[in-house]
């Protein structure tokens, strides 16, 4: 029989790419979704990849343990991927309690449902480089102490240590992927990379004159989501659960990423970018840079898409989107 995978956050960027990846490997793929009147928009990313008709979506909510238990009993998953979160860092300051409930407690609910209904399954927790925050080491590994700088980062630390605790307390095969920033044409418009590529497309097509951004000097380690979901799957193929940093090992400023995006369409960034302090974070994370040597050695994982290639793919996709509006 085909293996069964259950994904929370299936309608997001990572959920869509992971669904496509698992379907290619012959899995049956199930997703947990919150009820919404905007069902068309909800499945847009799955449709973009052409897999919306190949996955089965089930009504549930990470904050409602009873709904998760019902879903677990119905699906009987072999692998569980907890990708759901309130994942926009900026919004976490405006909605800190919601972020704590969904991103933090929601992960604990998923782990508890696993312990109760599918203790023999394999569990993946989507941890985040935002947990490092004001990084205590210049290059971050699985051993680097956490110093989160946002309610989102704080909630992710709770979720991360919950996965470790369930692994050590109850013997669950639980792995945490400490993923550094990963992007794609499916990234939400609220994230800076997509805001940049969408803005570049609009300026190139004459739909806008400038692009307003916040801190151009923040540096991040950016990779392609398609590469990173492959690392998630590899973690669950190991004999035991563990923690892994997933990163490219290259850090780039928002300024240089902008420059790459504008160069893709033959424009100069300096002619179009303005600074708007409304987009500044209350507490900034200046630099993140990951060391994925453990993932490379144990999982055999390597990133395959460089940042320039990623940015060009995103700009091209947004040019097509904007032109079709």
Which residue stretches of the chain are H helix?
A: 13-24, 39-42, 44-48, 65-75, 89-94, 96-99, 106-117, 151-170, 192-204, 225-235, 254-264, 293-294, 307-324
Cα 95 from Cα 158, distance rounded (Å): 17
Cα 286 from Cα 312, distance rounded (Å): 25
List, in sequence order, every residue forming a beta bridge with 273; answer none if it has no partner: 211
Judge whether 152 counts as a catalytic residue: yes
Q: Of 189, 192, 209, nearest to 321 (Cα)? A: 189
Q: Of 190, 194, 154, 188, nearest to 14 (Cα)? A: 188
Judge whether 166 counts as a catalytic residue: no
Distances (CA, A) of 221 to 28, 224, 305, 307: 32, 11, 13, 9
Token pair in block for residue 127: 């941890």
4 phi, psi to nearest 5 deg:
-110, 130
Catalytic residue among 92, 121, 128, 162: 128
Cα 180 from Cα 127, distance rounded (Å): 9
Strands 79-82 and 56-59: unpaired
Catalytic residue among 79, 130, 183, 313: 130
Catalytic residue among 27, 81, 124, 152: 152
Q: Which residues are catalytic?
A: 128, 130, 152
């Amino acid at each position: 029989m085909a293996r069964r995978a259950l994904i929370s956050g299936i309608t997001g960027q990572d959920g869509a790419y992971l669904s496509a990846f698992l379907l290619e490997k012959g899995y049956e793929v199930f997703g947990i979704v919150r009820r919404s009147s905007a069902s068309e928009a909800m499945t847009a990313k799955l449709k973009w990849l052409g897999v919306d008709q190949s996955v089965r979506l089930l009504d549930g909510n990470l904050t409602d343990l009873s709904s998760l238990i019902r879903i677990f009993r119905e699906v009987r998953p072999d692998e569980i991927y907890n990708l759901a979160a309130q994942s926009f860092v900026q919004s976490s300051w405006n909605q800190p309690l919601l972020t704590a409930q969904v991103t933090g407690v929601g992960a604990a609910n998923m782990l508890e449902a696993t312990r109760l209904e599918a203790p023999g399954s394999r569990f993946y927790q989507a941890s985040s480089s935002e947990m490092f925050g004001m990084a205590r080491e210049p290059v971050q590994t699985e051993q680097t102490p956490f110093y989160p700088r946002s309610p989102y980062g704080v909630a992710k630390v709770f979720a991360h240590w919950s996965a470790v605790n369930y692994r050590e307390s109850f013997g669950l095969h639980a792995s945490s992927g400490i993923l550094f920033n990963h992007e794609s044409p499916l990234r939400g418009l609220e994230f800076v990379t997509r805001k940049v590529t969408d803005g570049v497309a609009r300026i190139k097509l004459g739909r806008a004159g400038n692009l307003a951004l916040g801190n151009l000097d923040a540096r991040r380690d950016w990779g392609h989501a398609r590469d990173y979901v492959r690392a998630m799957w590899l973690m669950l193929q190991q004999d035991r659960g563990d923690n892994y940093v997933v990163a490219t090992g290259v850090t780039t400023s928002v300024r240089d990423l902008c420059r790459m995006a504008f160069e893709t369409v033959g424009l100069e960034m300096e002619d179009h970018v303005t600074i708007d302090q409304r987009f500044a974070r209350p507490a900034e994370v200046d630099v993140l840079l990951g060391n994925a040597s453990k993932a490379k050695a144990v999982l055999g994982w390597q990133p395959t898409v460089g940042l320039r290639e990623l940015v060009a793919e995103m700009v091209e996709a947004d040019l097509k989107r904007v032109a079709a509006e």
